[in-house]
Copies of this chain bind each other. A is one copy, B any other.
Amino acid sequence: MRLRELAEKLECRLVGDGEIDVRGLAPFDEAEDGDLTFVAHPRYLLKLEASRASAVILKEGVSASSKPTLLARDPYLAFVRALHLFYPPERPAPGVHPSAIVGPGVRLADGVSIGPLSCIEEGVVIGPRSAVGPQVYIGRGSSMGADCRVYPQVTIREGVEIGDRVILHSGAVIGSDGFGYLRDRSGARVKIPQVGRVILEDDVEIGANVAIDRATLGTTRLKRGTKIDNLVQIAHNVTVGEDTVIAAQTGISGSTKIGNRVTLAGQVGIVDHVTIGDDVTIGAQAGVINDLPPGMAFWDTPAVPHFEAKRNIAGLHRLPLLLKSLQSIESRLKALEEAFRERWEGALRPEPSPEGKSH
């Protein structure tokens, strides 16, 4: 693609030779001849000049290069848009592969593809241009909107509702039973039937090997635009708000409510039945055992405001010194007590040195 053409499509101002051919995209330190790159921060401009990239996206009004340049308000965003142009998502050809098993009453809209060896149960509804498969399972009565992408070996159990433009990565399980038991009088565990559903709203993305349990009764819901990384656990009856981001291996226990625009780092754990406010950020490996108010950052187990966590950790790291300092204080105090006692025997109040009494 000509650089001039790219400038038009990305709505960037072109500086320099627009006739050069852009053959690929790369970070500036890996770029080869023919590549377009980008630099978001002026500190990399010198390295850019040494790079083999043929053209660059730079920030409007801030930076300049000897290379042919596209000027953008947000160079990284423009680069990402260029990636979308160069690597349009692969869409399997529409149609149902003959090896797929499709139950009665399944409704497939225009442009839907069902890959090899997938199993689509009775009554499933799939919206326009959604691509499912291969080796995917979709349970009875589940539905999916338009333009979804379901990668190989996803399991969607029965009664799951999925919006538009949802992406599900391989190994994800949507709608497995919640983890709930009662003990009867003999002490044996009775399984609580898990008969609720899961709703994934528009623009949700779910990572590889994620598990999202169906509600006991009612709904486990992930709202519009929420993105879930690999190996995350979402328990029964959880609600996750809009535009929330949950990093890998985090676990959210039953009935907990996560707000909008929340960021959970990796390996965070949140107990059941708590509420996390909007715009909260929780640091990696934190363990949340209480409601958290909106707009703040938290860390540590149990989670406390981030600055407190850092102060506590700094305190912990100073503990060995503190113990030494305490010993030194104690011996100085003892010396002073003894010196004082030498001068005035018995002058000290009896406690805390009981020997004082006998003097």
Could you list which residues of chain A lie within 8 angstroms of chain B, going by C-beta atoms? 25-27, 30, 73-74, 76-77, 80-81, 83-84, 86-87, 89-90, 97, 99, 101, 115-117, 119, 134-135, 137, 139-140, 151-153, 155, 157-158, 167, 169-171, 173, 176-177, 179, 181-182, 184-185, 187-193, 195, 203, 205, 207-211, 213, 217-218, 225, 227, 229-231, 233, 235, 243, 245, 247-249, 251, 253, 266-267, 269, 271, 284-285, 287, 289, 301-302, 304, 308, 311-313, 315-320, 322-323, 325-326, 328-333, 335-340, 342-344, 347-349, 351-353
Contact = CB atoms under 8 A, between A and B. Distances in A.
A311 B315 contact: no
A211 to B, nearest CB: 4
A267 B267 contact: yes
Contact of A230 (B179, B218, B344): B179
B119 A101 contact: no
Nearest to A246: B179
A190 B80 CA distance: 8
A155 B155 contact: no
Nearest to A261: B187
Contacts of A247: 179, 253
A211 B207 contact: yes
A52 B98 CA distance: 49
A313 B312 CA distance: 10
A316 to B, nearest CB: 5
13 contacts: A87-B195, A101-B134, A135-B137, A170-B173, A171-B171, A179-B230, A208-B213, A229-B233, A235-B248, A284-B301, A315-B322, A316-B316, A342-B347
Given A116-B119, A315-B320, A332-B337, 8 more contacts: A73-B185, A173-B208, A176-B207, A208-B213, A248-B253, A285-B285, A325-B330, A340-B340
Contacts of A337: 332, 336
A253 B152 CA distance: 24
Contacts of A30: 217-218
A181 B203 CA distance: 12
A248 B179 contact: yes
Contact of A335 (B182, B319, B326, B348): B348
A285 B250 CA distance: 11
Given A80-B190, A80-B193, A267-B251, A322 B312 contact: no
A176 B208 contact: yes
A170 B100 CA distance: 19
Contacts of A312: 316-317, 319-320
B169 A209 contact: no
